[in-house]
Chains A and B, each alone.
Chain A
């Protein structure tokens, strides 16, 4: 059964230090530049306003999944949680419109923010799953290790996510979307 989870706001608010690090900016070094901070914060708030984050997720016995989808590091797992997190299409559109207006700075900052917001969402959902299933593998996404990024399509279809399109390259649209897997051993390790 596929479930839908709508996160609380704090679950996808990225830490400022991390979001700024993605912009190659050291939080500590700019913290005195209050005008800059205010500008970053306004973009942060804009990001929160337009994001419509959801997580589609399910758990499947490992044998029901294609072997090529299972990373080597999942050796010994009994079940696998698969989830797709997305911030929705509006944030993509906002980034694009900012770029079209020539507001490259704001678009770049918002893009970095969105990437880290999605990562924050994945982290908090990861924690939520672990509370439910206990001992599991590290979180894994197609495109890393031995799993081709084009397996994204399979996961999107498995989770019946209608609002996410997968290009032949494996890239997902909206762009601020990721798929993840965590393997569960179903035993104490």
Chain B
């Protein structure tokens, strides 16, 4: 099916997607490890389910290929079957289809995070998705859905891969969020929507993790920010144990009633995720019926975004200028040596000073390689929060940055030269983002009229390329005074561009280059430009006068900057949150002069980590921050332990394992990291660990606590099996279980403790052992 046909269909009526595959196939008796293997081992079983979905009224059937990418298949040792599994899945789905029903190729995560959060290179993720997409498209799918993604960067790799396989295939993308509207990697639903507004996708959605009731408010937020048609697939609740079977508590009627709400909120495609079956889809279809999609009111403002921070560009965009290696030999050399610590510090400082974005200019580019640019982008993603303004001149380096960047960055900059501009338009069309266009071609025009003429020329090119002018700032150009340059030309150009309805941005400090008392001159000039209608400035946020004048100028217009939500924490906590290990060590060394190592470990460092935990629990920081903090303090704990000289500083020993037949590791590793940073000794048995192996290890290592992880609804039963085996053998140990498929009720039924996330696991471990020891 062509994209335009699909989009027309979406305008006409709400479409119905099918329900779950994994949970439904297990319900129907599948007992293997990977449901995708059924495509070649028992195709009739898959076909039967898909026929049931067709009979239930699904307009779109998904292929049984959710985990059929090379990375996932390799974990089961069947990566050589990738082509057969995917191609056969398409054939089965097509044979189960009736009439004008559509078959969409189903793709999802590789099960690992992309660097810098995980170990997988962006390009490897891209190639993995490209390979699967190619097979699905070649096999004749009508569209592709990429769903259950929790890492925006991995999703971006998948989108680019699919689009490189086919520009014409309809594409639905869907992320999974917690109830607070954030993915486990800290990306909010608004950031997701904002980036997807730019990327070449057709439909944007949310699926999995939440039941319909919990998903409503998250979807409502998506509906306000997404300019694309919407898709939603909630779970049928959390799994519960009924006898020996896992059941989902959301009944078809409850599901249908809530799905009607999603339609009213603006959903164009509705379907089900884990726990839903043909009966859910049938009742939903019958209840909702044939319905024209609701017209939504979507927020039209522009935002810049990093992985975790969304910044509106109104009423004025402050871009920090201080990451600029031009003319700074020491900084340039550090960058060349792949030492980005000063860049990170500068980014963090500028965030504290009230910037909304950080300009990144690495100076002399010819001495750098792609790896430098990739490294900078990843390092800033890892250690700094604000969106970036990528101030890179060399086109292929610029592309490396935009490809690697997670979020919606500002491209700084294009000139009005057609070739130069078109190349950069191409980048923001492919990777998303906003653009600064300099009002010049090869040379800078002397007069304001000529700069505006060039801007108008650029406007025509942008329009012809389908770029919304709201995504573009025009730079009227600021030249140093004192070389017969007239700053009033810039002010006049700002005024004229404003009259044309265009946004403007300047590099403020250029004006005072080489002058004494730069701050005063900059501030005065900024005031003039703001009065003429300036929308943004790249400036030195350390200049108090400039920042005060900016606030004053806005106040005169009846506006104010969106309040910067800064964390005011004690120094040690701040250092931990920023990953500044050197500063932590210095502070710890100072403290050691007056306290014993044990005291420092337990009453200083551990307390600071507790505070970090509280910040995470209250949503002030996100998972990447928590992990960064844990990784940062670990060597400091190790150092203190070496001074203590025994294991008496350990709060206890925890044995971790992902249960049998489950190969998901991320969550457990996060728990291990957080537990270690919290003072526990952790032994990780790995993944796919049979109950007998856990028992053996418990007998040998004598841990205080066993932590079991189960991601899949199909493997969660092994938690019970393992706990039962330990009990049967008279092993006295606390057993904690976690993972996407676990919940409090299941844990009670299994006779184990439950921890929702790493932090809860840490607190629970402390509680259990504290209680036991006291």
Contacts and interface: CB of A to CB of B under 8 A. Distances in A.
B216 interface: yes
Contact of B261 (A9, A10, A41, A48): A41
B257 A38 contact: no
A41 B258 contact: yes
Nearest to B291: A15
Interface stretch (A26-34, A75-83, A137-145): A26-34
A34 B254 CA distance: 15
Contacts of A44: 257
B154 to A, nearest CB: 29
A12 to B, nearest CB: 11
Given A16-B257, A45-B257, A10 B264 contact: no
A32 B299 CA distance: 14
A21 interface: no
A62 B719 CA distance: 69
A13 B264 contact: no
A37 interface: yes
A37 B257 CA distance: 10
Contacts of B265: 31-32
Interface in A43-62: 44-45, 48
Contact of B220 (A10, A13, A27, A32): A32
B574 interface: no
Contacts of B217: 34
A167 interface: no
A17 B283 CA distance: 18
B283 A10 contact: yes
Given A32-B220, A37-B216, A38-B216, A13 B254 contact: no
A9 B258 contact: no
A170 to B, nearest CB: 33
B257 A41 contact: yes
B264 A17 contact: yes
Nearest to B283: A10
Contacts of A31: 220, 261, 264-265
B3 interface: no
Contacts of A28: 264, 294
Contacts of B294: 28
Contacts of B216: 34, 37-38
B471 to A, nearest CB: 27
Interface in A1-27: 9-10, 13, 15-17, 27
B44 interface: no
Interface string B282-321: 0100110000001000000000000000000000000000
A128 to B, nearest CB: 14
Contact of A45 (B253, B260, B286, B287): B253
Contacts of A34: 216-217, 220
B264 A27 contact: yes
B283 A16 contact: no
A16 B254 contact: no
B213 interface: yes
Interface string A107-119: 0000000000000
Contacts of B260: 15-16
A41 B261 CA distance: 9
A36 to B, nearest CB: 10
B758 to A, nearest CB: 28
Nearest to A15: B260
B256 interface: yes
A9 B213 contact: no
Contacts of A10: 256, 283, 286-287
A13 B258 contact: no
A28 B295 CA distance: 10
B287 A38 contact: no
A32 B218 CA distance: 10
Q: Which of A28, A31, A48 has the most CB of B within 10 A?
A: A31
Nearest to A30: B264
B176 to A, nearest CB: 18
A84 B303 CA distance: 59
A48 B255 CA distance: 13
Q: Which of B257, B265, B286 has the most CB of A within 10 A?
A: B257
A13 B213 contact: no
Contact of A16 (B213, B220, B261, B286): B261
A189 B256 CA distance: 39
Interface string B258-273: 1011001100000000
Contacts of A15: 260
Nearest to A13: B287
A40 B547 CA distance: 49
A16 B265 CA distance: 13
Given A9-B283, A45-B257, A38 B213 contact: yes
Given A32-B220, A41-B258, A48 B213 contact: no
Nearest to B215: A34
Nearest to B282: A10
Interface in B345-381: none
A45 B212 CA distance: 14
Contacts of B258: 41
Nearest to A9: B253
A53 to B, nearest CB: 13
B211 to A, nearest CB: 11
A45 B261 contact: no
B213 A41 contact: yes
Nearest to B251: A45
A59 to B, nearest CB: 27
A37 to B, nearest CB: 5
Nearest to A37: B261
A118 to B, nearest CB: 17
Interface string B198-217: 00000000000000010011
A95 B217 CA distance: 29
B264 A45 contact: no
B256 A13 contact: yes
B263 to A, nearest CB: 9
Nearest to B216: A34
A155 B83 CA distance: 67
Contacts of A27: 264
Interface string B214-239: 00110010000000000000000000
A15 B265 CA distance: 15
Interface string B408-437: 000000000000000000000000000000
A17 B253 CA distance: 17
A101 B444 CA distance: 78
A28 to B, nearest CB: 7
Contacts of A17: 264
Contacts of B213: 38, 41
Nearest to B265: A31
Contacts of A45: 253-254, 257
A2 B435 CA distance: 75
Nearest to A45: B254
Nearest to A11: B286
A16 B287 CA distance: 10
A166 B286 CA distance: 34
B486 to A, nearest CB: 52
Nearest to B262: A31
Nearest to A8: B286
A16 B260 CA distance: 8
A109 B220 CA distance: 23
A15 B288 CA distance: 8
A16 B286 CA distance: 14
12 contacts: A9-B253, A9-B283, A10-B283, A13-B257, A16-B260, A28-B264, A31-B220, A34-B217, A38-B216, A41-B258, A44-B257, A48-B253
Given A9-B283, A32-B220, A41-B261, 14 more contacts: A10-B256, A13-B287, A16-B260, A28-B294, A31-B261, A31-B264, A32-B265, A34-B217, A37-B216, A38-B216, A41-B213, A41-B254, A41-B258, A45-B253
Q: Which 6 A-B pairs have the closest CB atoms?
A: A10-B286, A34-B216, A34-B217, A31-B264, A41-B257, A16-B260
